[in-house]
């Protein structure tokens, strides 16, 4: 599967798409990036006068790049319109904040993929290569029917 094709297969659209592109993907790892532009609605109220990206959005960004993109890559032969990739668990440690206009990079390594369950070790880095947050994310790849 072509690296440019995978983001187009994600089941998200703006304003809930947090993948600008991928720089690497194989059966064991993925790396991608996203820039949090100033126009995201969540910056208006999180926090007043000092906006930061909410932890739930950082987790979602890591899940989209580090879990869903890899799940699409690994399931290429079985993907169809009934395929669903659902988050099942997260364990994330937040270390430093992410601000408007910041570009982040997500690096994910597969822990396992079996019986439709994918678990990955993920970390998010800022433009200074500082770890923003890290942990594990797991999800299920299944069919709607």
Q: Are 124 and 105 in contact (CB under 8 A)?
A: yes
Across the chain, mean pLDDT equals: 93
pLDDT of residue 69: 95
Q: Which one, of 112, 136, 14, lies nearest residue 63 by Cα?
A: 136
**How remote is the C-alpha of 30 from its chain's centroid?**
10
- pLDDT computed for residue 77 by the predictor: 66
Q: 3-state class of 115 per DSSP?
A: coil
86-113: average pLDDT? 97
pLDDT band, very low/low/confident/very high, at 142 (cuts 50, 70, 90)? confident
pLDDT at 145 exceeding the cut of 70: no
Q: Which of 24, 40, 46, 128 is catalytic?
A: 46
Q: Is the pLDDT of residue 46 over 80?
A: yes
Per-residue pLDDT band at 91 (split at 50, 70, 90) = very high
Q: Please state, in angstroms and rounded to a whole number, the distance separating the CA atoms of residues 53 and 19.
A: 15
Which pLDDT tens digit goes with each residue over 125-137? 999 999 999 999 9
Q: Which of 6, 40, 47, 45 has the alpha carbon at shortest distance from 25?
A: 6
Sheet containing strand 103-114, edge to edge, reads 21-25, 29-35, 103-114, 117-125, 131-143, 83-94
Burial of 72 (0-12, 13-18, 19+ CB in 10 A): buried
Work out whether the CA dihedral 69, 75, 81, 83 comes out positive or negative.
Answer: negative
Residue 8 has pLDDT above 80, yes or no: yes
Residue partners of 77: CB distance under 8 A and separation at least 6: none
Work out the average pLDDT over 73-95.
86
| Six-digit token string for 67 | 């879990």
Residue 63 has pLDDT above 90, yes or no: yes
Domains of the chain: 5-143 (3.10.129.10)
> Is 46 a known active-site residue?
yes
């Amino acid at each position: 599967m072509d690296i440019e094709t995978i983001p187009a297969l994600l089941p998200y659209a703006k304003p809930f798409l947090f993948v600008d592109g991928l720089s690497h993907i194989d059966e064991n790892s993925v790396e991608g990036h996203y820039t949090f532009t100033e126009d995201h609605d969540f910056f208006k109220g999180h926090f007043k006068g000092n906006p930061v990206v909410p932890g739930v959005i950082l987790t979602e960004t890591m899940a989209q790049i580090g879990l869903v993109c890899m799940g699409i890559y690994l399931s290429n032969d079985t993907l169809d319109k009934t395929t669903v990739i659902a988050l099942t668990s997260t364990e994330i440690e937040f270390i430093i904040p992410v601000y408007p206009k910041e570009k982040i990079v997500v690096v994910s390594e597969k822990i396992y993929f079996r019986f439709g369950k994918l678990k990955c070790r993920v970390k998010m880095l800022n433009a200074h290569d500082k770890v923003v947050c890290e942990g594990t994310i797991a999800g299920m790849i299944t069919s709607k029917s």
